[in-house]
Structure 1
Amino acid sequence: MQIKSVAVLGAGAVGSYVIWGLSSRKNIRLAVIAEGPRAERLKQQGITINGTTYRPQVWTPQEANGVDLLVVALKYGALPGALDSIAAAVGPNTTVMSLMNGVDSEEIIAAKIGAEHVLPSLIKVASHKEADGYHFNPETTIGIIYGELAAPLKSERVQAVEALLAGTGIHSRVTPYIKEEIWSKFRLNVCNNLPQAILGAGVGCYQSSAHMKTISDGLCHELEAIAVAKGIDLSKVDASSRHGSLVPPATRYSTLQDLDAGRHTEIDMFSGALMRMGQELGIPTPYNEYTYHMIKALEEKNDGLFDYAAKASDLTCAK
């Protein structure tokens, strides 16, 4: 098995890391899946990553049909609307790797195309968008982690992905504990991504403030209780996997980046998912419930819901 064609669905902060690395591969066809005005924009402008503009091919989902490897790097809220596009791109021998946050994107995709196509995976990259495109540090990026859920762990497709990524600059490793690794990243996101988004400060806040560490720890304790109840043994994962890429203390992770830019966040995939699982399992999640509603309120603030200056004629009762 050899991967000769790769399509990326979602050419944002995560997809740009894949495009950056695989653009050095001259023996494959590399494309971004897009349609309409976005496709035209990508064809005309390309994608600027770390100061260099890359011009992968741009395919419709139908043009991508039968691609050897499909990398899904969407925002969580975009996944339901993209399932038909994913199905259109997948052929009998297509492998799909989801590099999305959260713990259920593989299940959602598998329900549409069949679990046999999905190679579980995750990515750890501190990528952000600036006026001139996407930026990340290639050296400190942990990269892509992937593996089979059951033997044979060194399957043909795992070996094919290893061969594809070798020498590209993309950091990667195969793990026998991919489910635990995905939950470990989920823990990292919930504990580090969310509290700083409410505070509006860099990730260094967890070291600078005992109060922020207490909030982070509370979120983690709830997540770990749910993981135990679901049979996810996080002790199988090296302690080092609890840490993300080395970043400056001013780093603002994806949820805060979304709020800074006035976008809606992926909070439904983080605390929202934990609240649902907690309800199903009878496990209280007060830290996650508070975090969920606070970030939803910050989204409403960005939407202008609390712009009372524009509603000066309105009166309300202060109690």
Structure 2
Amino acid sequence: MKIQSVAILGAGAVGSYIIWGLSKKDNIRLGVIAEGDRARRLKESGCAINGAVYRPEVWTPQEAQGVDLLVVALKYGSLPGALESIKTAVGSNTVVMSLMNGVDSEELIAAQVGAEHLLYSFIKVASHKEADGYHFDPDATLGVIYGERFAPFESERVKAVRELFTDSGVNFRVTEHIQEEMWSKFRLNVCNNLPQAILGAGVGCYRDSVHMKAISDGLRRELEAIATARGIDLRIADAVSHGCAVPATARYSTLQDLDAGRHTEIDMFSGALMRMGKELGIPTPYNEYTYHMIKAMEEKNDGLFDYDGTEEPTWAK
């Protein structure tokens, strides 16, 4: 098996890293799936990444049909509307890698195209958007972690993706514990991404405030209880995964979304844990509070609370 064509669905913070890396490969066709105004903008302006402009091909889902590798790099809220495009692009031999946050996008995609197409994966990249496009530090980026859920772990498609990423700009690592490592990243997002978003402070807050640490620890206990009930042993991930140094000023994706007035991926984080907790009979009070707080902050960004004094009074009791 050899990967000769790659389509990327979602050319944002995560997709930009893959575009940047694979643009260095001259023996593949690289395209971004887009339609309408977005396709027009990509064709006209390309993708601005780390101070340079990259120009992958721009394909409709029909033009991408049968691509060797489809990389899904969407925001969670965009996935339901993109499932039909994914279904169209996936051919009989297409491998699908979802680099979305969370732990359930593979299941949603598999329901449309079949689980046999999914090669489980996730990404660790600190990418952010500035006026001149997306930026990240290539040397500090851990990159794509991927692997088969079940043996044989050294499958033909694992080898093909390794060959694709080798000598590209994409950092990568193959793991035999992909589900445990995905849940480990999920834990990081829930425990470190969400509380700082409510506070509006850099990640140094977890080190410098016992109160922020208490909230983070509460979210962690709930997540780990659910993971254990689902047969996920996070101790395995703790033994094989590697962290990286992060400046105290770092603002993770949920806070970046709120800063920019966008809706967040809270449904994929605390929302998913609340659903799983109900199914398993595990209480999730920290996640429920966090979920509703961030939803209310989204409503604030939407202008719901922009009162001008002419509204009917409310009554405090």
Distance 1:135 1:216 in 2: 28
Partner SS state of residue 37, structure 2: helix
Q: Give the conservation status (yes or no) of the 8 Å contact 1:20–1:54.
A: yes
Output aligned runs, 1:107-126, within 5 Å: 107-126=107-126
Output aligned runs, 1:1-319, within 5 Å: 1-239=1-239, 241=241, 243=243, 245-309=244-308, 311-319=309-317
Distance 1:136 1:60 in 2: 28
TM-score normalised by structure 2 residue count: 0.98
Shift of 1:81: 0.6
Aligned-residue Cα RMSD (Å) equals 1.1
Q: Give the conservation status (yes or no) of the 8 Å contact 2:12–2:73.
A: yes
Q: Give the conservation status (yes or no) of the 8 Å contact 1:188–1:242.
A: no
Report how many aligned residue pairs link the two structures. Answer: 317
| 2:306 maps to amino acid | D
Deviations 1:12-49 (A, max 9, x none): 00000000000000110000000000000000001111
Shift of 1:313: 4.3
TM-score normalised by structure 1 residue count: 0.97
Shift of 1:239: 4.2
Distance 1:260 1:313 in 2: 27
Partner SS state of residue 65, structure 1: coil
Shift of 1:318: 3.2
Shift of 1:236: 1.2
Partner SS state of residue 137, structure 2: coil
Shift of 1:312: 2.6
Distance 1:167 1:22 in 2: 9
Partner SS state of residue 247, structure 1: coil
| 2:144 maps to amino acid | I
Shift of 1:314: 2.7
Distance 1:18 1:133 in 2: 15
Deviations 1:239-281 (A, max 9, x none): 46373x4322111111001101111100001000101111111
Deviations 1:130-155 (A, max 9, x none): 11100111111111000001111010
Q: Percent of aligned pairs with the same residue? A: 74
| 2:132 maps to amino acid | D
Q: Give the conservation status (yes or no) of the 8 Å contact 1:68–1:93.
A: yes
Deviations 1:64-121 (A, max 9, x none): 0010000000001111110110011011110000000110000110010001111000
| 2:223 maps to amino acid | L
| 1:24 maps to amino acid | K
Partner SS state of residue 140, structure 2: coil
Shift of 1:224: 0.1
Shift of 1:316: 1.8
Distance 1:42 1:188 in 2: 32
Q: Structure 2: state its 5+ residue gaps.
A: none
Q: Structure 1: state its 5+ residue gaps.
A: none
Shift of 1:206: 0.7
Distance 1:317 1:242 in 2: 53
Q: Give the conservation status (yes or no) of the 8 Å contact 2:106–2:120.
A: yes
Distance 1:142 1:264 in 2: 26
